[in-house]
Amino acid sequence: MQIQILQHNNINIAEFISDEILIAVADDGADLVGNLYFEGFDKAILHQKNISPAFFDLKTGIAGEVLQKFSTYRIRLAIVGDFSNYESKSIKDFIFESNKTGHINFVASKEEALERLSR
């Protein structure tokens, strides 16, 4: 895993770069938050391909625990991917509500992630 530093509107944003799953269990989210906090970032981009499908099954509790860690440490997060294939009403509602508050964002592109995180 690498953390790439992006700048948008004079704001530093961390982007996780990896070909592997970075979040398989809730503790993985705490590790990511720890890395960001240690490096001094308060905004980050994570790609859907780096997240286990279990994250998007809300019954597992992984999403709630991981995103709570980001919220607790006041790290804004954008998850980039295609979320249209999720049929569950609960995950659709979860994504909608998350996007509404703006602290955790589910977006279709890196450009959209940069825009939301630099507001």
Does residue 119 carry a pLDDT above 90? no
pLDDT band per the 50, 70, 90 thresholds, residue 7:
very high
Does residue 34 carry a pLDDT above 90? yes
Residue type, 68: Q
Residue spans per domain, the chain: 2-117
Average pLDDT of the chain?
Answer: 96
Q: Could you read off the pLDDT of 12-23 as tens digits, one per residue?
A: 999 999 999 999
pLDDT band per the 50, 70, 90 thresholds, residue 58:
very high
Does residue 25 carry a pLDDT above 90? yes
Please provide the CATH number assigned to the domain covering 2-117. Answer: 3.30.750
Does residue 77 carry a pLDDT above 90? yes
The answer to whether 13 and 53 are in contact (CB under 8 A) is no
- What is the rounded average pLDDT of the residues 44-72? 96
Buried residues in 27-55 as b, exposed as e (16+ CB within 10 A):
ebbbebbeebeeeebbbbbbbeebbeeeb
